[in-house]
Amino acid sequence: MKRIAISLLLIFSSFALLAADSSWTGVQRIVAVGDIHGDFGQLISVLRSAGLIDAKMRWSGEKTHLVQLGDLPDRGAETRKVMDLLMQLEKQASRAGGYIHVLIGNHEAMNVYGDLRYVTPEEFASFRDENSEALRQAYYKMHLEELAADPARAELPEPDEIYRQSWEAKHPLGFFEHRFQFSLKGKYGKWIASHNTIIQINDTIFVHGGISPKYADMEFDVINDRIREEFKDFNKLRAGIVIDPDGPLWYRGLASEEEEGLEDHLRKLLSKHNAQRIVIAHSPIEGAIIPRFAGRVINVDVGLSAFYGSRLACLLIEGDKIFALHRGKSTAARQPFLPILINRNQGVSLSARANKSDNPN
């Protein structure tokens, strides 16, 4: 496997990454959507519910900024369709004066650097083509040559049919195509690495996991650039940000730890960036947009995908008003929008918590 690993590493690391902007102001309408996890149907439903796409899946959100907070891949079977649609919508939104921000989550990073624990068999199969069997056999031949050249295996029996079947089970058809497409020379790896991890729009910060005290003093541009650099050189991962449990891709403190212990940290963080709140995902909640810290932290990972229960909700910010849109109601009817924050001075309403009825009111 050494030659295979080296060839894949060269593919992964041989692309120059460009920095992206990380701050926007004067945006009148923002829609924030949590983890998708390969569920194309639910992505369509939530975008339609927020008035962002039409019946033909074309951008209809005009100047809206859509923030998708990461974790497009894994656990589901249609990540390619999810990413392809968002790539198309990025261009359409830009032409209309809108913007799509697809943030990097831990599952995007895992697919780039090769942690494939949560890639489903169906996901690998979606990358198959007419050459997949020949490609896999070429890699298996390379693998056998490596085994034969390894002195440590001199006394071991030759690989047999059972061994081959085991190897193929670990490398299903579509596996090597998947790895190339998520490399920095591939369509999806290149696209992922062009995105940010943390952004700020107006007075709201958006990040997949959260910002821990460890990274509170680091500028967003620095974090974004560091993560891109780690994608270019996997040797930097061990001491880097991408796989750090306290890093912005993995940190869960703002979603789950006692508020009192993080109050000072959050106050200083928001003050440093002249922000009113931070919107996070990554930590699944049961079907409702949940505000914490008196509305200064809002978790939008409602379990949108089938893997987590197909719960439909997103966050809408219009000027100073913030609403939770639940269960895919039409944006034309204002009833589905339940205010979390009426405005900056009036505090928090927990009426956005979901109930069992189809009527969120």
Strands 204-207 and 277-280: parallel
Please indicate whether residue 237 or residue 335 has the higher confidence score (pLDDT): 237
Q: Is residue 13 part of a domain?
A: no
Q: Which domain holds residue 344?
A: 19-119+185-352
Segment 41-52 mean pLDDT: 97
DSSP string, 141-187: HHHHHHHHT-GGGTTSPPP-HHHHHHHHHHS-TTHHHHHHHTSTTSH
**CB 145: neighbour CB atoms within 10 A?**
11
pLDDT tens sequence across 276-321: 999 999 999 987 898 999 999 999 999 999 999 999 999 999 999 9
Neighbours of 205 (CB within 10 A): 22
Same domain, 207 and 284: yes
Of the two residues 310 and 328, the one the predictor is more confident about is: 310
The verdict on 165 and 222 lying in the same domain is: no
Q: What per-residue confidence (pLDDT) applies to 19?
A: 53
Q: What residue type is 305 in one-letter code?
A: S
Pick the more confident residue, 256 or 153: 256
pLDDT in tens, 93-102: 999 999 999 9
- Taking residues 53-64, what's their average pLDDT? 98
Question: Across all residues in the chain, what is the average pLDDT?
Answer: 88
Distance CA 233, CA 100 (A): 27
> Which of 143, 162, 179 marks a domain boundary?
179
Neighbours of 102 (CB within 10 A): 25
User: Residue 162: is it exposed, middle or buried by C-beta count within 10 angstroms (0-12/13-18/19+)?
Assistant: exposed
Same domain membership, residue 127 and residue 61: no
Q: Quick check: 343 pLDDT over 80?
A: no
Contact yes or no for 208/104 (Cβ under 8 A): yes
Q: pLDDT digits over 122-158, tens only? A: 999 999 999 999 999 999 999 999 999 999 888 888 9
Q: Are residues 103 and 197 in the same domain?
A: yes
Residue 329 has pLDDT above 60, yes or no: no
Distance CA 327, CA 338 (A): 12
| Tens of pLDDT, residues 190-236 | 999 999 999 999 999 999 999 999 999 999 999 999 999 999 999 99
The answer on 322 and 212 residing in a single domain is: yes
- Amino acid identity, residue 160? D
- 51: CATH: 3.60.21.10
**Strand pairing report for 29-33 and 65-68:** parallel
| % the chain with pLDDT above 90 | 81
Q: Edge-to-edge strand order for the sheet containing 337-341? A: 99-102, 65-68, 29-33, 313-318, 321-326, 337-341
pLDDT number for residue 354: 31
